[in-house]
Structure 1
Amino acid sequence: MREKVNLQAIAQMLFDAFEKKQALPPLTETYPSLSVADAYQIQRYLIRLHQQQHRTIIGHKIGLTSEGIQKQLNVFEPDFGVMFSQFAFENGVIVSKNEMITPRIEAEIAFLLEKDLEGPGVTVPHVLAATKAVMPAFELIDSRIQDWKIQIADTIADNGSHWGVVFGSQVAAPDQLDLRHVGLVLERNGKLIGTAAGAAVLGHPARAVAWLANKLSEWGEKLQAGMIILSGSFTPAFDLIPGHYKATFGEGLSSVEVYVNG
């Protein structure tokens, strides 16, 4: 018989871990029967707890979209979470590593929607037609699970391991770009730490957004105009150690920068 798990209590534990910056043992070890469906329900409870602190949802983040990050975390399907305005920052911001537990950084393309996207059946052309602009972004991820010992249910329950986002100051129209071939040069303190192209994200970053629109339709939900969608990391995540990070994208997308203090 499947053990009965108090999903709301787990959400409260994750929220407390976020607030106190104290990690938890892996949920999938403490609750071996925890399913992906359970994890998404926990995430919904967790989001409500954040909203009770007057944190406003500005969009979604999609994770685990590149082969590199899937191999790094040993999970093999995308996931998603939400982003809050209180943890969204402008280009060149200074953030403190001490605000997080074991943070990492990912370079991504963000989509600003001007039309709703409602699945099922959403495709890449639908996403591009619904997108007002794309922009470079850094996602700052942080696991409330000790030492990133996560399985797919752990990270889903933990809001996709999201902490914050930094947006570049320059935007571009999606019809002016071939997002599959947009290149990335990622630097820390002026030294190269990663390169990739847009095709690393499910073959096309817009395909990740389409996946999310179709996934949300399982709950009768849609992506709404005005939302910002992070499409997923081009590379494996890098440990967020103090320093200056710059992600430079090709095809006229410019760059995004963040400074990290200890």
Structure 2
Amino acid sequence: MDTETRSEAAQALLGAHRTGEPIEPLTERFPGLDVDDAYAIQAAQVERWVLDGAVVKGHKVGLTAPAMQRQLGVDQPDFGHLMDTMFHLESLPIDPSAFLAPRVEPEIAFVLGKPLSGPGVTVAEAAAAVDFVLPALEIIDSRVRDWRITLADTIADNASSGGVVLGSTPLPLSQVDIRRAGAVLYRNGEIVGTGALGVVLGSPLNALVWLANTLGARGVTLQAGQVVLPGSVTAAVPVAAGDVVTATFAGLGSVTARFSKEGAAA
């Protein structure tokens, strides 16, 4: 794709954000759109958001579970940007109308205590860069109609990022079983998913290493204070107005997202 076509694709996604109207898959509208094109389209949107006053507060890693990789026929994760406008407090209701087709995933969140710059980052260096971890819920969303996405579609759509809710029980990495700790996901009091942190590339730390090295190859350094979501522990569950979703993590505590009812103030 040439620069003009990439810009057209980015404008289509920005329009979906602005109007709340989903678009058809970009890979159908622009045959030949590849992963490099998709990351360029994502970057163009991030640049627009920053120009409008938003701030990059971290990154998310997607497609870390084997089942999701098989579904899309890929053998590696993808990444997206977390903007300050995406973060929601546990104590405040979230307006569901801010999303098109939201789903929620349980994850841990790494909060960095120092910069992490690839390529060449090791697991040991990644662990040393983590200040603390938090329980987290990621709200994924798709500006593509009916979630009809390929790998390139989701990358272009900022890795289907929507929102983040962080818990308030920070713990040092050394106090969390980063591979075997289990998680249970509840929606309106009913269990809708279970899993262990090791489903994320064998360990969420591997996702952090992959992200640091992938961004480093693109000239980007993860900064101190930034949040990294390494990938979901369970399948994502759809949510709607009035839903309450909680994730509990063994040894780490819980985090809850509350979605306001239709017509209620967010």
Q: Normalized against structure 2, the TM-score is what?
A: 0.93
Other-structure match for 1:143? 142
Deviates more, 1:46-55 or 1:186-195: 46-55
What amino acid maps onto 2:124 in structure 1?
P
**Matches of 1:169 and 1:154 in 2, distance apart?**
33
Residue type of the alignment partner of 2:246: K
SS at match of 1:109: strand
Q: Contact (CA 8 Å) 1:11, 1:43: kept in 2 or not?
A: yes
Q: Per-residue deviation at 1:217?
A: 1.8
Corresponding residue for residue 127 of structure 1: 126
Aligned match of 1:249: 249
Q: What is the one-letter code of the residue matched to 1:33?
A: G
Distance 1:4 1:50 in 2: 19
Aligned to 1:32: 31
For 2:234, the equivalent position in structure 1 comes to 235
Contact 2:181 2:196 in 1 (8 A): yes
Residue identity matched to 2:27: T
Structure 1 residues not aligned, in runs of 5+: none
Residue number in structure 2 paired with 1:10: 9
Asked whether 1:67 is paired with 2:70, we answer: no
TM-aligned CA deviation for residue 241 of structure 1: 2.5
Aligned partners of 1:185 and 1:249 also within 8 Å: yes
Q: Deviations over 1:188-237 (max 9, x none)?
A: 11110000000010000011010001101221222111111111111111
Equivalent residue number for residue 200 of structure 2: 201
Segment drifting more, 196-205 vs 124-133: 124-133
Partner of 1:109: 108
Q: Deviations over 1:48-101 (max 9, x none)?
A: 111122111101111111123334555542111111112201224311221111
Give matches, 1:43-62, under 5 Å.
43-62=42-61
* TM-score w.r.t. length of structure 1: 0.94
Aligned 8 A contact 2:25 2:148 in 1? yes
Q: Which amino acid aligns with 1:178?
A: D
Alignment partner of 1:97 is 2:96: yes
Which one-letter code corresponds to 1:142 in the other structure? D
Mapped to 2, the partners of 1:21 and 1:49 lie a distance apart of: 17
Alignment of 1:170-209 (within 5 A): 170-209=169-208
Cα root mean square deviation, aligned: 1.6
Cα distance in structure 2, aligned partners of 1:126 and 1:178? 18
Q: 1:177 corresponds to which letter in structure 2?
A: V
With over 3 angstroms needed to count, the CA separation of the structure-2 counterparts of 1:99 and 1:199, relative to structure 1, is: same
Secondary structure of the equivalent of 2:248? strand
